[in-house]
Amino acid sequence: MPSGNLSRESTVTVTCDGLVAPRSPSDDVDSILGHIVPDEGIELLLGEPTNRCQSKRLIIAVDFGTTYSAVSFMSLAEGENAELVGSDRILSIKNFPGDSARDMNDRMRDEVPTEVIYPLNRRFRSEGEWDSLQTSQVDGPANGDEDEGPELSQTQTMDVDMTDYEEIFDEAEFRTIAQPFQWGYKVHEAWRFPDTHFDKTNQALSRFKLLLDTSQTTEAVRTQVAPTFEALAAKKIIKGPLTVIADYLTCLLRHTKSELRTRGFDDSYPVELVMCVPAIWSQKACRDMQTAMAKAMQQAQFQGVDIQNNSIENLFIVSEPEAAAAYVLATDHTIRPHDTFVLLDAGGGTVDANTYTVSQTTPLRLTSEVVEPGGGLYGSSYLNEAFQAMLLERLENETYLEHDKITLRGIVETIVLRDFEQDLKRNFDIYDTNKLAKRFVVYGLRDDRKKGFRNSCIYVKFDTIKDIFMKCLEGIESIMRNQIQTALDKGVVVDKVILIGGFAASISLQRYLRKYLDAISTYNNCHIRLVVPENQVTAVASGAVLRALNKEQGPRRLARSSYGILRTEPFMDYPEHSGLKPSYDRYDGLPCIKNTIDWVLKKGVEVHPVWRCEPFLSSHLFPCKRSTPLLCKEVLYVSDTSTESHYRESHAKNRGAEEVGAIEVDFSFLRDQGLIRPVEPDEDEQGRKVGQRHYKVEYNMIIQVVDRDLRCYAIYNNEVIKKCRINIASAFSPGAK
């Protein structure tokens, strides 16, 4: 096995550009070994450090949401000035499989549910169903127009004689009715069928984005979905949360690619991917999200992905509130210099609030966050849950409705998706003076005036529905109120509250917030206006595209993670070795400390757009065997806490450090071409040989950061033998250039 001295290894996403042997090796190769490349020659050796501009490109922004997700994009032509491109050029992906929206202009069609259903069959991937499923969903008819066979009512069952359909459907067509994996609107569509609820092998998952958030706020949700994850993991269908996220994103990106192709965009367009993340996410969560995104891009056959090292070329990460604010500044012409506004993002799961002050100059820029961000779990999906629980309670004794594959849960789920989600939730007004009860069809329901059952309908009082709404509305109002009051306590008056997200379309939410703003404005002798942008559903994804166009608005480039290299260091070269028991290298016999980490790029350091560490020497020892390849591997590590070098990887100071990538170079050509000679073992004071005959390979390493790429160079004989490019966007604050 090779042994490395002073070898450094790194942990990032790596895209290797290939191995190049020296063009004209020196007659005396040994004379250049061990020499550090002179600083004045580095720039010439490494070439132009900046990224070359693309002649044309696609900017694709993915807003992976708790309950709904969206994708926006924009194309740039050759030579086009990105700074002059307007927000009107931003488009959104639509036509999601299973989307049955009645109104083709409904903005809710710009997003898709973040939900999946797994079969309890670990072979569904290997049997080819995974790939064929995604292709059929992406390339098939959209908007529920596909021919899926007879639609079943709640009183019908799937217990039919298959021969009755022999002349209409073949077996493959029946499989399309009950596909083994579902995502997005297909999940909602599946819940309309009785067998989905009856079949216990169906494992549905939602809100799995929150598994990346380890805060106390999401603990209840993580606890709730844990049993389903455990069941799927036990069946070896998934390995963990990242598997589910990657599976969902694969479907989302495959559909995106299909839609882009219909618009004439093929693989000749280089892609810049923008990933939207919550502002409160840790660097670990951002890296995990990048890992899942890289896997999904590979499975969706996007170019520029190195799955082995989770690397994505041209990846830009931006925080969700920052992206939304960029969209607001670009589209709301009522915002003026000096204005302060609360950005209230009311989605399906979480509701987040940020308060910003606008700069004094044009173009408008955000100067600062006035108060700490706020948020809570008051999204619109909790209305669905509460409404569903109420119906189940009302119907719990009506067991006569259950027969064959019809279940009470299935009946209620159909009402929630068909009537509550599509119609009532958006149009219900808590201030409606008529206060009429709402009725929902339940076929076969027996009349019972005390329970509100009549004519196969269940009647729900106006006040009952209002109470369901009020819990979420009061929670959102408290988040908004805290932002406004905290700003006032600091002497800053809020001018506007800008409401975005899927819940923003709710009439009840809009009216409730306006009434509170009128009251607080009167009390404080000011005027705070509620603004609901026209495109509130995709404000985050659209704003992310705008931020990618103009990255100069981003925060300072402070490293939020440390990146280091695994080393074998000569014993006592550093004071950190004191008190340690050394190992003795089997080849040169010298004492050393193995598996230490040298943190080359340290957390907290400001990293300029082009940053470079000092060149360092890497040395590897090999046995004198022709059968042993001279493979030199440098392994990269990342940590969100470590900054002190020369401690072993297992030391407490490196707790939590993770391997994130590697660069490997085959130097066998040096031996095969006679460019290096075996090193004979030394003798100690007693004349005994120390170590054994071996080959020694030495080369220079340089680590450079260019924008959001970390680049590693292996240099031998003043020639770049191998170079790697690793995207470390997750090492900086979201939005940093």
Which of 32-46, 183-197, 456-470, 672-686 reaches the highest mean pLDDT?
Answer: 456-470
pLDDT band at 2 (very low <50, low <70, confident <90, very high): very low
CA distance 344 to 369: 13
149 pLDDT higher than 70: no
Average pLDDT, stretch 102-119?
78
Closest-CA residue to 428 (of 503, 343, 516, 338) = 503
The tens digit of pLDDT for each residue in 493-543 reads: 999 999 998 899 899 999 999 999 999 999 989 999 999 987 778 899 999
Report the 10 Å Cβ neighbour count for 677: 12
**pLDDT above 90: residue 160:** no
Taking alpha carbons only, the member of 5, 30, 48 closest to residue 610 is 48
- Reported as a pLDDT band with limits 50, 70 and 90, residue 24 is very low
pTM here is 0.78
Q: What share of the chain is helix, strand, coil (3-state, %, to 5)?
A: 35, 25, 40
Compute CA distances 568 → 165, 280, 577, 662, whole Å: 70, 37, 12, 16
Mean pLDDT for the chain overall: 82
Q: How far is the C-alpha of 553 from the C-alpha of 733, rounded, in Å?
A: 12
pLDDT over 80 at 646, yes or no: yes
Q: Which of 62-71, 89-98, 193-202 has the lowest mean pLDDT?
A: 193-202
Q: What does the domain layout of the chain look like in residue ranges? A: 3-52+556-731, 58-269+271-313, 333-532
User: 675 vs 369, which has greater pLDDT?
Assistant: 675
Tell me the pLDDT tens digit for each residue of 298-350.
999 998 887 766 678 888 999 898 889 889 888 888 888 888 999 999 988 88
Residue 609: pLDDT band by 50, 70, 90 thresholds? confident
Q: Residues of the chain with pLDDT > 70: what percent? A: 81
Per-residue pLDDT, 113: 93
For residue 41, the model assigns a pLDDT of: 59
pLDDT tier at 1 (50, 70, 90 boundaries)? very low
- In which band, very low, low, confident or very high, does the pLDDT at 5 lie, cut at 50, 70 and 90? very low
**Stretch 255-266: mean pLDDT:** 93
Give the chain's largest Cα–Cα span.
Answer: 106
Percent of the chain exceeding pLDDT 90 equals 45
Helix segments in 88-210, DSSP class H = 129-139, 171-177, 185-190, 194-198
- Give the model's pLDDT for residue 161: 43
Confidence of residue 14 (pLDDT cuts 50, 70, 90): very low
Q: Give residue 104's pLDDT.
A: 56
On the question of pLDDT at 11 being above 60, the answer is no
Q: 691: which residues sit within 8 A by CB, 6+ positions away?
A: 585, 586, 587, 588, 589, 590, 681, 682
Tokens of 265: 């965009």
- Lookup result for tokens 């993580």: 222
pLDDT tens, position by position, 271-286: 999 999 988 888 889 9
DSSP at 66: S
Closest by CA to 11, choosing from 643, 609, 632, 599, is 599
Range 641-663 average pLDDT: 92
- pLDDT bin (cut points 50, 70, 90) of residue 12 is very low
Q: How confident is the model at residue 413 (pLDDT cuts 50, 70, 90)?
A: confident
Reading phi first (left if > 0) and then psi (alpha if -120 to 50, else beta), residue 525 is in left
pLDDT category at 29 given cuts 50, 70, 90 is: very low
Cβ atoms of residues 6 and 616 within 8 Å? yes
For position 128, what pLDDT does the model report? 52
CA atoms within 13 A on the CB side of 678: 12
More confident call, 136 vs 228 = 228
Q: Which pLDDT belongs to residue 494?
A: 94
What pLDDT score does 35 carry?
44
Q: Which residues fall within 8 angstroms of residue 234, CB to CB, at 6 or more apart?
A: none
Q: pLDDT-derived band of residue 660, with 50, 70 and 90 as boundaries?
A: confident
- The answer to whether domain 58-269+271-313 and domain 333-532 are alike in fold is yes
Q: Which residue has the higher pLDDT, 667 or 614?
A: 667
| pLDDT at residue 54, as a whole number | 55
Q: What does CATH list as the number for 333-532?
A: 3.30.420.40
Q: 698 pLDDT band (50/70/90 cuts)?
A: very high
Structure tokens at 637: 């590590």
Specify which of 225-239, 411-425, 627-641 reaches the highest per-range mean pLDDT. 627-641
Residue 691 CB neighbour total at 10 angstroms: 17
pLDDT of 140 higher than 60: no
Give the C-alpha separation, 227 to 368, whole Å: 42
Provide CATH code, domain 58-269+271-313. 3.30.420
pLDDT surpasses 50 at 218: yes
- The candidate with the shortest Cα–Cα distance to 57, out of 310, 274, 275, is 274
pLDDT value for 133:
44
How sure is the predictor about 177, in pLDDT bands with cuts at 50, 70 and 90? very low
The alpha-carbon radius of gyration of the chain (Å, integer) is: 30
pLDDT above 70 (res 148): no
